[in-house]
Structure 1
Amino acid sequence: MVKLKIGILGFGYWGKKIYQALRRIPECEITVVCDKRKIPLDNKKIILTDNYKDLLRMNLDGIIIATPNETHFSLAFQFLLKGYNLFVEKPLATSFKEAEKLINLAAKRNLNLFTGHILLYHPLIDTIKKILENKKNLELKIKRTNKVSQINKSEKEIIYDLFPHDIALLLYFFKKEPKIKEIALEKSLVEAHFLIDNEIKISGVWGKGTDKERTITFFVENKKIVFDGLLSVLKLKENGNEKIIKSIDYQLPLSWELSYFLNSLKNKRIKEKIPTLKVMAVLDKIEKLL
């Protein structure tokens, strides 16, 4: 079996998770890992470097960019110009115009450009999607917060680091752009209210909270369905009772997402589950309102 040669750019918290997930995929060969910090790997077969320009001279099937958000556009632009297929962790860029420029460049050069919206590859999300089919008058409550003790995020970091997950999911579930009804920022916490077709109400908080939480509660026909992204658990709450509908290994979504990208390299063409530019368009509107 001919393995795909992959480079990882960025070996921080998420880059390490990507590395571990790729190691579990047989058709992948991690060729090079790049980070400015010392890389704690002892695999002699993997090239280690602190200079991303080294990757621009390598024969690689694909490169995964898992660096800080503000570096995504510049790095992706350089690698696309050199003809590389890319997986870029969300957000693709930190503005709509930058994202559009990258997508147009990839299309012009017939390259795969994949944005890492991991929840779109979560098995429990597909379970929820089936439950929501043909349902009307829905209500969703989202909570995506970090502990107060953790590093405070700026307004832009909250928008482009936390919001993409949920905007991508809303587009995936309902196929329509959520309209912003109200939005406010106070002390590193954004509270927002969205509406879809005057039938689906979405409210939530993103940013600094009392604890780290990644939950979406769906109010469906007098029932509460709770998706807990940290535990990878789907719960049903009804008549004061609670039961687990389904749970999965928390490592699965990232492995499935990366496998989807690797398959696109084999097939020479990628079809994202939702267009990245649609996500970026909503993020752009949120930023302007704040």
Structure 2
Amino acid sequence: MTADEHKGEEKDLQEEDLEVGLIGCGNWGRNYLRVFHELKGTRPAAVCDLKEENLSWARRHHPGIFTTENYQELFSREGLDALVIAVPASAHFALTREALEAGRDVLVEKPMALKTDEAQELVDLAEQKGQVLMVAHTFLYNPAVLKMKGLMQAADFGRVYYLWSTRAHLGLVREDISAIWDLAPHDVSIFNFLLETLPLKVSAVGGKYLMADKEDVAFINLVYPGGIVASIHVSWIDSHKVRRVVAVGSHKRVVFDDLDNLERLKVYDKGVSLEMSAESFGDFQFLLRDGDITSPSIKMSEPLKNQCQHFLQCIVERREPLTSGKNGLEVVKVLEAAERSLQNEGRLMEV
């Protein structure tokens, strides 16, 4: 699916009356409750969490909502059209599998699983059951990322040379997964989306400074078809918060800075390419471009709300989401290759 197709395909849902259940009402899960409350044609109808304080919060902010500490009650509850799973990553696979087996359409947070064979099992199960399975790669619903892809596909961007990203902050440490599985899914999904393909090979090195068994910082290198290379830096222990993705081409450079609310995208009309000299056949010369720096106009909207709207559309129309289970499986394959590389001192691994 192209960026333009994704932007232009959504229809009005206000005549629908879809009920959504949520498993996991922590800080991020609460955003899902807010969004489904604000969207037309749907409402959050039930929530499950193991902490009473989170259920109490849900009842205060969404009077009348059904709450429970037993997630299986949401699988059997009549009237629910879909489930959102926003729990720690180590529980994604098991809960998603049970939800699909119960005949529910599912939106699961990233990563959809921690092993390729588990992710493949979820994809196969969703197809067998005829259920919608969507993975919350939220950045693919960010208008700036969609715009970035359009800029890269334009002829005047030139040949794609390489991409790099940095996703770092101080704190927000996960107890069940490493920084790679927590942060890198964002950048892998963005890179795969921008290039419309998977990397062929991956290598990774990292450091364990806070916990003995989990990397809290990592550097991941990826080799894509056509000689395109990419690099991802993730960290939980960097005091300088960064959310940046850069694409460098022969004619232009595009920078997406998610923390810059005024100029989320910048386009540098600068580049270098190797051209054959017109004066001497067989000779080559470097051509440098040094043009303007522009910030294109973007009609911004909340990515999470766009994602949830798309999920509802896919439920109503029974179609495959942009970030389908297959898309989530591709991300897991890359992350698992990075994990194998970490365990083998940074050796290059095939995806």
TM-score over 0.5 (shorter chain): yes
Does residue 125 of the first structure (1) align with residue 145 of the second (2)?
A: yes
Distance 1:230 1:4 in 2: 33
Cα offsets for 1:95-146 (capped at 9, x unmatched): 1111111111111111111111111111111111111115324222200112
| SS class of match (1:83) | coil
8 Å CA contact retained: 1:10, 1:35: yes
CA shift, 1:155, in A, is 9.4
Residue 183 of structure 1 aligns with an amino acid whose one-letter code is A
Alignment correspondent of 1:220: 249
Residue 219 of structure 2 aligns with an amino acid whose one-letter code is E
Alignment correspondent of 2:335: 283
Does residue 272 of the first structure (1) align with residue 303 of the second (2)?
A: no
CA shift, 1:248, in A, is 5.2
Alignment correspondent of 2:266: 235
Alignment correspondent of 2:82: 62
Distance 1:153 1:199 in 2: 34
Matching of residues 76-225 of structure 1 within 5 Å: 76-133=96-153, 135-147=158-170, 150-153=171-174, 156-180=177-201, 182-187=203-208, 188-208=216-236, 209-221=238-250, 223-225=252-254
CA shift, 1:210, in A, is 2.4
Distance 2:90 2:307 in 1: 22
The RMSD of aligned alpha carbons is 2.3
Distance 2:323 2:133 in 1: 13
8 Å CA contact retained: 1:5, 1:28: yes
- Structure 1's unaligned 5+ residue stretches are none
Q: Is 134-143 or 183-192 further displaced after alignment?
A: 134-143
Alignment correspondent of 1:51: 70
Q: TM-score, normalised by structure 2?
A: 0.75
Q: TM-score, normalised by structure 1?
A: 0.90
Cα offsets for 1:63-121 (capped at 9, x unmatched): 00001101111111111111111110111111111111111111111111111111111
Distance 1:262 1:144 in 2: 29
8 Å CA contact retained: 1:7, 1:32: yes
| SS class of match (1:178) | coil
| SS class of match (2:182) | helix
Seen in structure 2, the aligned counterparts of structure 1 residues 16 and 198 have a Cα distance that, compared at 3 Å, is: same
| SS class of match (1:30) | strand
Cα offsets for 1:214-249 (capped at 9, x unmatched): 111222346442212234511235669755324554
Distance 2:232 2:142 in 1: 21
Q: Is 44-53 or 269-278 further displaced after alignment?
A: 269-278
CA shift, 1:182, in A, is 3.7
Seen in structure 2, the aligned counterparts of structure 1 residues 264 and 55 have a Cα distance that, compared at 3 Å, is: same
Residue 244 of structure 1 aligns with an amino acid whose one-letter code is S
Q: Is 56-65 or 170-179 further displaced after alignment?
A: 170-179
| SS class of match (1:211) | strand
Distance 1:280 1:246 in 2: 33
| SS class of match (1:185) | strand
Q: Of 25, 28, 31, which residue of structure 2 is paired with 1:11?
A: 25
